[in-house]
Structure 1
Amino acid sequence: MKYWIRKFAICIVLLYNLLISSDYAGANQLSNIDVQQLNALPTVENLASADNNLAKNKKEDFCQFNEIVKRIDKLEGLFTLYCSGDSGKIYLEIKPEQLNKDYLAIVTLESGVGEKGIYSGLPLSDFIFYFQRVKNRLHFVVRNVKFRAESRPEQRSLARSFSDSVLYSLEIHTIKPDGKNILISLDELLMQDFPGLTTLLKYSLQADYHLDTRKSYLGDVNSFAENVEIDSIYGFSSLEGANLVTVPDSRALTLKVHYSFSQLRENTGYIPRLADDRVGYFITAFQNLSNNNAHESFVRYINRWHLEPSDPNAPLSPPKKPIVFWIENAVPLEYRDAIREGVLMWNKAFEKAGFQNAIEVQQMPDDADWQPADVHYNTIRWFNSLDAGFARGPVRVNPLTGEILDADIIVDANMVRSIQQEYHALMEANSSFTNGHFSQLDKNPCPGNLSAMFSKGFKAFPEQHLVDNDFCYSMESSDQAAMGALALSILPNTTPSSETMKKYVHQYLRSLIAHEVGHTLGLRHNFHGSTMLAPEELNNTEITRTKGLVGSVMDYLPVNIAPQGIQQGDYFPGVVGPYDEWAIEYGYKRSPSVALEGIIPESEKTFLEQIALVSPQPELSYATDEDIWDINPLANVWDMSSDVLLYSQWQMDNARFMWQRLDKGYLSKGESYSNLRVSFNRVLKYYFRNATLLSKYIGGQSFRRLHASDDTSWTFVPVSLLKQRQALTKLQEYVFAENAFSFSPQLLNQLAPSRWEHWGSSVPNNRLDYPIHDRILGFQSAVLRSLLDSDRLNRLQDIELKTLPGEALSIPELFDTLQTGIWTEVLTPGESKPISSIRRSLQREHLNILLEMMLDTNDTPEDGRTLAWYELRQLQKAIDVRLKQLSESLDIYTLAHLEASGDRIAKALNAQLISK
């Protein structure tokens, strides 16, 4: 009784203080106090500590806690939330046992602007955090998971050595009358730039935007037993705006961000699995400072789902809890079957790991009461953009164990839109077939950034970055698919029809989804995966539909276009490959030691080593992003077969045939010539991409991630001298030769640009006619400079020490072969003929490169500089001889070209002598 009398007396005193305070005029109308005023009420703990000055300054009144919570909605779950519909205020209640406890935050950009990297569905960040009470404030802290220790003394040392990140210090608005549960306002936490969008907008849009709190508010809120789901709508403003065409006024834009705060499950039986560099998984790594192994202090776990067999003793068992993917209800109906098949392709691989139907696919209902960003659902989402053209398969992982907790694949409609345009054009042509060919509508769906834009994501924690090429297909994937659709209507060994095009789109989308699902299962890219079959096997469906078209769908795969005279097979893989099955076995097969109590990851080493030992098998070859820097000609993007030399030649021959068809009245009556220009460019790009694959053989070496216990002892094997010489011969024939490019005047004069001028489509402000010389020289120059760059020359020089004498391509042979082929008109004895304009441009570029080398304007190795000097001397002599013998019979173009070239060489040689 005394307690309640004392409590009542304290309330009366505080009420009196409020009445006489000038800061709170009208505070005597307690029934009208709004929620914001009630936020500042005192706590029992403050009173108990006798901090009367603090209580007086903050005008707090713990008696009003119930007044706050009884007038607004209460959502109970992981955290109890109090939501006021009138004021929009949302309060979060934190219990004492929830302090200093780890939780997982997942932040997703739920709505974007559809342009320049700000796209719906992109992951922004995921991290572990905890709440920490410090005096009368509540700290929101991101935990540092990079360093760990096992013993108490080492843990104390870690705490002093490496800091967590206190992101926010929040005001404690009030405390329950029991003095335990804390109440904070979510506005203070989420109505500031929590995900770092200001930085993202500045980087992507090149404009200064600031968060306008007057336009920002909290949206839908849900609290469940294990997670809290919150939407925040952020209004951004900029005085000048950005160069955006997808919003009505770029001075103001709105972004929605979805937050999932979830509980990290404990004692689930999940056992982290140690990584092996021979098998391509994304990893969770930390430094174990308790580890006394001086050779390696890092511990690496693969990222994978927690799959357990329902019957551990059965060789093939359904999982206790399968991996379920939901197809978002925004996905167009005509694509859902292909997406479903792409997901389920992986069940074949899981059978090798002992799981039956490990993956399931369900359709999100149209009236679903949950959001795709909810951490409880793995979704395949569909979004639209002006310029994206990518798909991405990110996952959210427990950073302590590597367990995958959530996955959301996003696919831009532009990935298939250009193919669908081809399809609709074919349907129209079927009804008006007149000239023995089918119409072509090939518009670039993404007129913005045409470079390899792998993805646009943003991570505020622990680091900020915009490009992560481990998770996505680039624009090139949709270009490849559109190229195949173009081939369907041109090449004679295909049968173009609307039904054929539907099947083609189905194959492409199925393969695309399979690739992204592989990422969500933990797998990295395998750019060696496309080299499993010989070229002659690529269109044999008896092989490709059983063993697979490729060793791994985790490669960046081109469209498989059959060469002339060969019946077309599958354009894209329909089954996962042997590497995919092996990798899933490594990641998910149940270890016999799991049945033992006290199992630790290290106890699986012997079991995992037995799986990894078969890695030297050719069909299990693995090379990922950091392995493909121009060193391995079979570890590339957009290549195919075990003989890329032959495959690339086939594709360049296909391109030449397609140019011939484009030259023969290809367009339908009434069709714009700008469509012909787009098609011509697409074929030209395809041609040079395959030519670039040939250049990878020069100074190339195979690289395998082998261990000492594996069957072979060489991790590097140089490409044979024969293969390198064959590559140089093909480059001369298809890139540098005089007759490599031959287009009729009629075709070149029909390559008109689009004349539509409006948002999303701009008329070029440079030349209207087609710049054929510049386009060809640009491609030739790229190949030539790649062949003669310093890295390749250094590699060639090193390979001479790694092979027996006479088995390596020397730098002198490379220089001489290129010079002889490029300057044939000068260096070959016999009757002289005019040098064409394309050849003159190529020769000038070759001369520029040699002069740059000799004058040391780049980082060319010393032997390269002296050989450049030598080649220039030989060329100068040949030019002098040719001018003396045939100057009178040369046309003025050729004469001026040779005299100017000889003069440049002479001046450069003299300049070098003077400088020495």
Structure 2
Amino acid sequence: MIRTLGSYFAHLRKFVRGIRPRDRTPVQSRWPHRFRQFLLLFLAFVILPIAWSLVPFKVTGQTETEPPTVESPESAADDDSETNDLEDNLEKFDEAIADTEPQEGLFSLYRNDKKNALFLELQPQQLDKNFLCAISLASGIGERGLFDGMPLQNLLFYFHRVNDKIEFVVRNVYFRTRPGDPMARSLDRSFSDSVLAVLPIKSIHPDRQSLLVDLNTLLLDGRDLSGLSAMIPFMLRGSYVRDPEQSRFSRVQTFPLNVEIETVYGYTGGEDSFTNLEALPDNRGFTLRLNYSISALPENNGYRPRLADNRIGYFITAYRDYADENRKEAFTRYINRWHLEKQNPDAPLSPPKQPIVFWIENTVPVEYRDAIREGILAWNKAFEKAGFIDAIEAREMPDDAEWNPADVRYNTIRWMNSFDPWFAGIGPSRVNPLTGEILDADILIDGNIVRLIQKEFRNWVGEEPTASTQFLGKTLGNDLLCLPGITGDMEIATSEGATDRRATAVPTPLKGFVADMMERYDLCYGMEAPQQFAIGSLGLSMFHNALPSGPEMETYLNQYLTFLVAHEVGHTLGLRHNFHGSTMLAPEQLHDRSITRTKGLVASVMDYVPVNLAPPGVEQGDFYPVVVGPYDEWAIEYGYKPLEAMSTALERRDLEAIARRAGDPELAYAPDEDTMDILNPGANLFDMSGDMLQFSRWQLDNAREMWERLDKRYPVSGESYSEVREIFDMVYFFYIRNVMNATLYVGGQWFNRNHAGDREGRLPFEPVAIEKQRESLALLQEYVFDDNALQFPPQLLNKLAPDRWYHWGSLPIVFPLDYPIHQRILLLQRLVLRALLSDQRLTRLHDLELKAQPGEILTLTELFDTLQRGIWTEVLDNRDGLTEISSVRRSLQREDLGLLMNMVLRRSPVPEEARTLAWYQLKQLREAIDRTVDKRGKHLETASKAHLQETRARIDKTLDAQIQSF
């Protein structure tokens, strides 16, 4: 644009020089020429720039505006003629809306309750204009993801007239250029908008020339705009279809800037043998209410999009920018944020012209509202770094409020209840897809979390597994895939030798839905956060004798709610997860309230934080973060600090100055996608402190102490033994989490998102120090592989009785009725061993030999030797007094043997270097078994002797096998 204006003024100077008189004349005779020059300059510098500013124009990095529609007089005349002909064939407007109740607002609506009819009046100027339609569930069934308030779709759409019909069209905002650019014609031909519905014109107003359309066609009879009907069969695992006879309009409200329409959909079916919805009285039918919120987009409100930076975690509005093909980057990316302006732009700290207001819904229990308010207002500390005082307000929704929480004009904290919860909280927001401006937000909190205080663990711990499933039902469930070292396509072996490939467990339509929810809201469907919460309440009960309704437990619950709400409010401010945030403090600082109440327990509340349970002998500090951290303040500064630059593009320099601080360890950032690779120990869920190995060791000791106290103190007189089993499994899952966290150090690399030249910047990849990798292996040997790692008193194991209630919502265990302790222990060992010997990790270790100096990293050879010494100790040590190899150790050794054999036989994809080492390990093991059998064979009990002889035979067959190509 600057080059264009420069060219314009250069031509103007030439023009002015061209009209200057060439001959010298007296002063009085030159006056007319001076006057003409004055008029020309006035025209050039005043009138034309004003006119220029009124022409739609976009430069890269600024807001996209809708190109004007230009229509030739001939086509307009033809349309007038067609309109007149069409009016003659349509119902009269007054007759069409007879017996309806009119409602005026953004659109005029006409409703007839008796006929279940709803009409919408479109003004001529509303055609081809962008509107936003946000669709959410206004009621649910309490399970399988159908929860009240769940967001479904955000559609940027427009109404387009084609002859006697109106098209409902979703605008394609992924490809853009500046208005008026000839490239726009090519984009229009290359990429399509999406027509989702076609509505017949019912009538045309004779004076206003407005068009009347039937919303039944759009919202009840036609295609499901939400896409929910297509997903329900997969979500509920039954052939459910929407029944038009049961569908109707419910609440309808109109306002100047939005329209709220609630529909009721009836679904029938579910007669498949595998459909079992426990929250329904009858599987064959249910109803859902959907809220359609149609709103106008803000116009000329001064909002300026802000460019994104990959060092700072914001949700992003992105498009492929064709305005300048010489750009290095094909995409323009804006962060999603609210429109905040200072009341006093010159003041270092100023209240906003319009604060972000969150309403605590009147469904929230009164006793939790203060904690929720604290979670909302915690962010004002961060906004002060951006120059705002009281940027966020928290208000309570009156009991007699007539407005609906789904109304686009209100941001709400909503309380929901479910039978089968998927999450503890979720913070979706509504965003202008052209600019990234956040327009509305509604946070959902699942009230089931409170029941954990009363020890109702069943809904959270889940069902018992059968003998054929090696994982703990919902105790692991989807969270198994979130554990470090476990990837989506890992095969979990079952007792029958079959495999369960978890990656194929989610149907394709649901994968798309979940992926979309993850992209828009960082939504995680695991329930480990409440399980962590349950562990904390159990720790309070066991270590501090806290009562479920006592003051200590109340403080604990309020801390969790404050943290949970602060986390979800962060999402609604535009922030993504930061799973590096929990690594800020040293382990010894975690329970120092003088630090955690000022600087913060974590660098970012956008992390998934475990319960900060003090180890034995340490005074308990804060269980959860109660203030936002340094990263949160920095991110808000980047997103919301007012900048003096005149355009989005010119802000880049000021934003770069803020982002260059990314090298500060407290500002490290790692979103969801960084945790999907077993690379960076710092990018992890439910870890804590800058030394995760020390923290994990503390929590593993806590778990062992819980098991010991469980044996001594539970059950209380008169209570069922089933509670002991439930707590045992809950602690077991807690144990698995902390063990798997430790595996990340082996072959790990610190991954930094720094840019070249950042303050304290480092290279993107740095191998984990060899001392830490060795410490990790030593921890795993002590807490997983050692014969004494998981030993329980027989008395405790004989207390683990299953729940025997048999009714809806509670099915008793039929088989196995007793507790499969060997399977439980082997599951943990199998997870760890397969994680350590996975192709991904072995490849990394092999590559690290070229990425670090000799002696600085753990080698493949050292890994294989360390594992073999720890797992086959009884054989390799050649103990003189060896008489037995325990059953737990025999199971572990078979697992290790199978993995080595699969490598040698090319049944598993690993580096060739690892195959060679596996072959060598088997040969060494074969020789050690020979020595042990020769020396101690007659002293070994039968099971141990048979185990060694079978192992030797399997090794012989493997080493002698004909090698096939993989």
TM-score (norm 1): 0.89
Deviating runs (4+, > 6 A) in structure 1?
44-47, 457-463, 493-497
What residue in structure 2 maps to residue 658 of structure 1?
706
What residue in structure 2 maps to residue 260 of structure 1?
293
Q: Which digits, 9 at most, give the CA deviation of each residue in 1:843-875, with x for residues without a partner?
A: 000001111111111211111111111101110
Deviation at 1:342, TM superposition (A): 0.6
What residue in structure 1 maps to residue 748 of structure 2?
700
What residue in structure 2 maps to residue 41 of structure 1?
none
Deviation at 1:51, TM superposition (A): 9.4
What residue in structure 1 maps to residue 138 of structure 2?
110
Amino acid at match of 1:72: T
Q: Which digits, 9 at most, give the CA deviation of each residue in 1:502-524, with x for residues without a partner?
A: 11000011111111111000101
Are residue 718 (structure 1) and residue 749 (structure 2) matched? no
C-alpha contact 2:118 2:215 (8 A) present in aligned 1: yes
C-alpha contact 1:272 1:403 (8 A) present in aligned 2: yes
Amino acid at match of 1:589: K
Amino acid at match of 2:186: S
C-alpha contact 1:130 1:141 (8 A) present in aligned 2: yes
Amino acid at match of 2:702: N
Are residue 404 (structure 1) and residue 433 (structure 2) matched? no
What residue in structure 2 maps to residue 228 of structure 1?
259
Q: 5+ residue gaps in structure 1? A: 1-43, 423-440, 594-598
Closer/same/farther in 2, CA of residues 146 and 620 from structure 1, 3 Å limit: same
Closer/same/farther in 2, CA of residues 309 and 825 from structure 1, 3 Å limit: same
Amino acid at match of 1:602: A
Are residue 589 (structure 1) and residue 604 (structure 2) matched? no
Please give the alpha-carbon distance, in whole angstroms, between the structure 1 residues aligned to 2:392 and 2:767: 41
Q: Which digits, 9 at most, give the CA deviation of each residue in 1:238-260, with x for residues without a partner?
A: 16163111111111110100001
Q: Which digits, 9 at most, give the CA deviation of each residue in 1:464-485, with x for residues without a partner?
A: 4467341357310100000011
C-alpha contact 2:145 2:422 (8 A) present in aligned 1: no
Please give the alpha-carbon distance, in whole angstroms, between the structure 2 residues aligned to 1:61 and 1:536: 79
Closer/same/farther in 2, CA of residues 110 and 459 from structure 1, 3 Å limit: farther
Are residue 195 (structure 1) and residue 226 (structure 2) matched? yes
Please give the alpha-carbon distance, in whole angstroms, between the structure 2 residues aligned to 1:513 and 1:194: 30
Match of 1:504 among 553, 556, 566: 556
Match of 1:558 among 605, 610, 620: 610
Match of 1:672 among 716, 720, 741: 720
Closer/same/farther in 2, CA of residues 461 and 134 from structure 1, 3 Å limit: farther
Closer/same/farther in 2, CA of residues 162 and 878 from structure 1, 3 Å limit: same
C-alpha contact 2:267 2:287 (8 A) present in aligned 1: yes
Match of 2:907 among 823, 847, 857: 857
Q: Which deviates the most, 719-728 or 193-202?
A: 193-202
2:138 aligned counterpart, secondary structure: strand
Please give the alpha-carbon distance, in whole angstroms, between the structure 2 residues aligned to 1:899 and 1:806: 38
Q: Which deviates the most, 217-226 or 172-181?
A: 172-181
Match of 1:883 among 933, 937, 942: 933
Closer/same/farther in 2, CA of residues 865 and 366 from structure 1, 3 Å limit: same
Deviation at 1:494, TM superposition (A): 7.8
Deviation at 1:666, TM superposition (A): 2.6
C-alpha contact 1:491 1:657 (8 A) present in aligned 2: no
Deviation at 1:600, TM superposition (A): 2.0
Are residue 395 (structure 1) and residue 442 (structure 2) matched? no
C-alpha contact 2:96 2:203 (8 A) present in aligned 1: no
Please give the alpha-carbon distance, in whole angstroms, between the structure 2 residues aligned to 1:216 and 1:589: 48
Are residue 614 (structure 1) and residue 652 (structure 2) matched? no
Deviation at 1:684, TM superposition (A): 1.3
What residue in structure 1 maps to residue 235 of structure 2?
204
Deviation at 1:809, TM superposition (A): 0.5
Match of 1:137 among 149, 165, 182: 165
2:444 aligned counterpart, secondary structure: strand
Amino acid at match of 2:944: T
C-alpha contact 1:493 1:568 (8 A) present in aligned 2: no
What residue in structure 1 maps to residue 119 of structure 2?
91
Please give the alpha-carbon distance, in whole angstroms, between the structure 2 residues aligned to 1:467 and 1:284: 14
Amino acid at match of 1:870: Y
Q: Which digits, 9 at most, give the CA deviation of each residue in 1:620-656, with x for residues without a partner?
A: 1111111122111122100000011111111111111
C-alpha contact 2:609 2:685 (8 A) present in aligned 1: yes
What residue in structure 1 maps to residue 448 of structure 2?
414
Are residue 303 (structure 1) and residue 352 (structure 2) matched? no
What is the CA RMSD across the aligned residues, in angstroms? 2.4
What residue in structure 1 maps to residue 199 of structure 2?
170
Are residue 126 (structure 1) and residue 150 (structure 2) matched? no
What residue in structure 2 maps to residue 681 of structure 1?
729
C-alpha contact 1:389 1:413 (8 A) present in aligned 2: no
Deviation at 1:388, TM superposition (A): 1.1
TM-score (norm 2): 0.85
2:568 aligned counterpart, secondary structure: helix
User: Matched residue pairs, number?
Assistant: 844
Are residue 272 (structure 1) and residue 312 (structure 2) matched? no
C-alpha contact 2:461 2:729 (8 A) present in aligned 1: no
Deviation at 1:462, TM superposition (A): 14
What residue in structure 2 maps to residue 788 of structure 1?
837
Closer/same/farther in 2, CA of residues 870 and 459 from structure 1, 3 Å limit: closer
Are residue 624 (structure 1) and residue 671 (structure 2) matched? yes
Amino acid at match of 2:710: L
Match of 2:210 among 175, 178, 181: 181
Deviation at 1:443, TM superposition (A): 3.5
Amino acid at match of 1:251: R
C-alpha contact 1:45 1:179 (8 A) present in aligned 2: no
What residue in structure 2 maps to residue 519 of structure 1?
571
Amino acid at match of 1:869: W
1:222 aligned counterpart, secondary structure: strand
Are residue 728 (structure 1) and residue 791 (structure 2) matched? no
1:880 aligned counterpart, secondary structure: helix
**After the TM superposition, which residues 700-779 of structure 1 pair with which residues of structure 2 at under 5 Å, given as runs?**
700-710=748-758, 711-779=760-828
Are residue 603 (structure 1) and residue 663 (structure 2) matched? no
Please give the alpha-carbon distance, in whole angstroms, between the structure 2 residues aligned to 1:461 and 1:664: 45
Closer/same/farther in 2, CA of residues 603 and 110 from structure 1, 3 Å limit: same
Please give the alpha-carbon distance, in whole angstroms, between the structure 2 residues aligned to 1:854 and 1:763: 44
C-alpha contact 1:417 1:445 (8 A) present in aligned 2: no
Deviation at 1:197, TM superposition (A): 2.0
Closer/same/farther in 2, CA of residues 875 and 460 from structure 1, 3 Å limit: closer
Please give the alpha-carbon distance, in whole angstroms, between the structure 2 residues aligned to 1:874 and 1:398: 65
Closer/same/farther in 2, CA of residues 541 and 562 from structure 1, 3 Å limit: same
Match of 1:343 among 357, 362, 376: 376
Percent identity, please: 53
Amino acid at match of 2:243: D
Please give the alpha-carbon distance, in whole angstroms, between the structure 2 residues aligned to 1:351 and 1:660: 48
What residue in structure 2 maps to residue 443 of structure 1?
458
Amino acid at match of 1:609: E
Closer/same/farther in 2, CA of residues 886 and 50 from structure 1, 3 Å limit: closer
Q: Which deviates the most, 408-417 or 690-699?
A: 408-417
Q: 5+ residue gaps in structure 2? A: 1-76, 464-473, 483-505
Match of 2:583 among 508, 531, 534: 531
Q: Which deviates the most, 445-454 or 396-405?
A: 445-454
What residue in structure 2 maps to residue 477 of structure 1?
529
Deviation at 1:290, TM superposition (A): 1.5
Please give the alpha-carbon distance, in whole angstroms, between the structure 2 residues aligned to 1:546 and 1:459: 46
C-alpha contact 1:494 1:568 (8 A) present in aligned 2: no
C-alpha contact 2:96 2:202 (8 A) present in aligned 1: no
Deviation at 1:829, TM superposition (A): 2.9
Deviation at 1:69, TM superposition (A): 2.7
Deviation at 1:45, TM superposition (A): 9.9
C-alpha contact 1:388 1:446 (8 A) present in aligned 2: no
Q: Which deviates the most, 553-562 or 203-212?
A: 203-212
Q: Which digits, 9 at most, give the CA deviation of each residue in 1:170-192, with x for residues without a partner?
A: 11111112371110111001003
1:253 aligned counterpart, secondary structure: strand
Please give the alpha-carbon distance, in whole angstroms, between the structure 2 residues aligned to 1:467 and 1:144: 17
C-alpha contact 1:416 1:478 (8 A) present in aligned 2: no
Q: Which digits, 9 at most, give the CA deviation of each residue in 1:541-595, with x for residues without a partner?
A: 11110111111111000000111111000000110001101110010001022xx
What residue in structure 2 maps to residue 433 of structure 1?
none
